[in-house]
Structure 1
Amino acid sequence: MDGWRRARLTAVIYDFGVAHERLGRLGGRLLWGADMRRFYRDLDRPRKPADGERVLDVPCGGGTAFRKLEPGVSGYVALDLSPLMLRRARDRARRGGLHGIGFLQGDVADLPLRDGEFDRCLSHFGLHCFPDPAAALAEMARVLRPRGRLHGTAVVRGGGPRQDALIRLFQRIGIFATVGTARDLPRWLDAAGFDRVEVDADGAVAYFSARRAPTGRP
């Protein structure tokens, strides 16, 4: 995570690439052997939170997840550790007329948020940057209400020799931290207190969703 907090050039290149679908799809294919059309389709579905719904976007990066939100949105909180990413996200929100989004700087390992504060959590391409992904998922579960939903994507090991070598390179230079496999995700989610877990891998990209267990779980 500290690598993203300090590395301005890396953050800007990543944000520019993922924000432009053609570049993002090309990068996903070349780097991770994944068809990123699904990722962009998923981003385009929720145009705005339902009435009274609270949504947490962590890490929000430069604001790609809210690129299709409609003006007048409320109840949406974007959180990131990187001041640079938060500035880019604020700029994107301002250009889109999204004045109701709240922005927070914070660490996913210790979210500055109350228990059960959100109905939905989005976590796109951040899990592999966290030193302890399982603990990060537990924090996301904590701030979700019972039956709240989590949706996300992550780079995972096991997608192929070339992808695994690239992951190791990114770990050495501090861009990635702990990177699990697609088989690790259900275990981490279950331990965090989620149920109805779904994980689907495409190359080295995993799509995951889960529900905060209603009662009787951590």
Structure 2
Amino acid sequence: MSGAADRLHRHWRKGRLVPVVYDFGAEHEPIARLGGRLLWGADMRPLYDSFAEAGRLPPGAVVLDVPCGGGVAFRGVPRGAGLRYVAADLSRLMLGRARAEARRRGLDAAFAGVSVDRLPFADGSFDRCLTYNGLHCLPDPAGAVTEMARVLRPGGVLRGSALVTGAGRRQDLLIALLRSRGDFGRPGSLADLRGWLDDAGLEPADVTATGALACFSAVKPG
């Protein structure tokens, strides 16, 4: 791992203020909608609507949520869904918040303190991989997409969201500022995101953007 990548991992592993502020906003949808519109020119409704997709999986399906943050995607899984749910994050703070959220929602989940770009899971382990608002924080988002594709079974789906460049000058300046602070890694454009999915051998079913927020869904062939 390069020095810059190592610093970014330490930043998110040990950071407190930025993750907590982000998690508070994410857990309160009205705040997230307002912040998304003001900061990113984005309509956050498609993101929150997409959480419900995991809840429509059949009992016994195996789901990886990485980085899970404080567990915002848990809201899409109803009690008693019968999923085998693994929530993973580099931050111990976020994993603690996610555990508390899982208890509150009655979600039976396993938790792992790992980074999305180095997953300790065998090939083809998961039916679904969820990765919401994490790729732009990574030093190598393309490599992370490839790693998530590796742990998907054939026919499995990668679903998530990321902030992308090219939505407007104001949004790009904010992304640059967050990169300079060490909060963001190497965000790409919408075209870059499509390229990461293609290079990982995934077939994009849907890649759309609202402002600087891109939502995507892609299938592993087979």
If the TM-score is normalised by the length of the shorter chain, which range does it land in? over 0.9
Match of 1:95 among 77, 95, 104: 104
Normalising by the residue count of structure 1, what TM-score does the alignment of the two structures yield?
Answer: 0.94
Report what 2:134 is aligned to: 126
Residue 54 of structure 1 pairs with residue 62 of structure 2:
yes
Match of 1:74 among 56, 80, 83: 83
- Identity percentage over the alignment? 54
Deviations 1:178-200 (A, max 9, x none): 01000111111111111144311
Normalising by the residue count of structure 2, what TM-score does the alignment of the two structures yield?
Answer: 0.92
Query: Does structure 1 retain, via aligned residues, the 8 Å contact 2:68–2:98?
Result: yes
Report what 1:153 is aligned to: 161
Separation (CA, whole Å) in 1 of partners of 2:10 and 2:147 = 19
Report what 2:33 is aligned to: 25
Give the SS at the match of 1:78. Answer: strand
Aligned length: 213
Match of 1:108 among 103, 116, 119: 116
Match of 1:192 among 200, 203, 209: 200
Deviations 1:33-67 (A, max 9, x none): 00101111111344364122111101000000012
Unmatched runs of 5 consecutive residues or more in structure 1: none
Shift of 1:213: 2.2
Give the SS at the match of 1:109. Answer: coil
Higher helix share: 2
Separation (CA, whole Å) in 1 of partners of 2:55 and 2:197 = 26
Query: Does structure 2 retain, via aligned residues, the 8 Å contact 1:4–1:82?
Result: yes
Unmatched runs of 5 consecutive residues or more in structure 2: 1-8
Please give the root-mean-square deviation of Cα atoms over the aligned residues, in Å: 1.2
Query: Does structure 2 retain, via aligned residues, the 8 Å contact 1:56–1:122?
Result: yes
Shift of 1:5: 1.6
Shift of 1:74: 3.1
Query: Does structure 2 retain, via aligned residues, the 8 Å contact 1:115–1:145?
Result: yes
Report what 1:36 is aligned to: 44
Report what 1:208 is aligned to: 216
Separation (CA, whole Å) in 2 of partners of 1:8 and 1:111 = 23
Separation (CA, whole Å) in 2 of partners of 1:3 and 1:29 = 26
Query: Does structure 1 retain, via aligned residues, the 8 Å contact 2:87–2:109?
Result: yes
Shift of 1:134: 0.6
Query: Does structure 2 retain, via aligned residues, the 8 Å contact 1:56–1:78?
Result: yes
Aligned residue type for 2:150: R
Aligned residue type for 1:26: L
